Amino acid sequence: EPEVTQTPSHQVTQMGQEVILRCVPISNHLYFYWYRQILGQKVEFLVSFYNNEISEKSEIFDDQFSVERPDGSNFTLKIRSTKLEDSAMYFCAIRTTSYEQYFGPGTRLTVT
């Protein structure tokens, strides 16, 4: 099973601040995803990223969100101006060549 790490494990930020969540796949992958899970709710798709471009995004992924792969290994999710409702677990996932998606342990984002 491919391994995915995420940092930080927990991020507390004030409303209006910018946050960057990081994902580091251990091995080489081409497809990356961000999902979020509000406490007690289902996992929701945010964005998919392939070949250094966004390939699909949900209506949640508005102009406050951006993704990039700055150095060929890290995959980041930036929230430019956090809102209270951005508080959630954020999961990075990678897709294998057989289309399976494997999730990282998540970052708990708390916006106060």
Binding segment for another protein among 12-20, 52-60, 69-77, 78-86 (CB under 8 A)? Answer: 52-60
Residue 56 interacts with another protein (CB under 8 A): yes or no: yes
Q: Is 58 a binder of another protein (CB under 8 A)? A: yes
CA 97 to chain centroid: 20
**By CB under 8 A, is residue 52 in contact with another protein?**
no
Instruction: Enumerate helices (H) and strands (E) in the chain, giving the number of each.
Output: 0, 11
Q: What angle do CA 39, 84, 80 make, to 5 degrees?
A: 110
List the one residue from 14, 28, 42, 62 that touches another protein (CB under 8 A): 42
CB of 45 to another protein, least distance (A): 4
Asked if 23 contacts 104 with a C-beta cutoff of 8 angstroms, the reply is yes
Q: How many residues comprise the chain?
A: 112
Residues that bind another protein (CB under 8 A): 1, 4, 33, 35, 41-45, 48, 55-56, 58, 91, 99-106
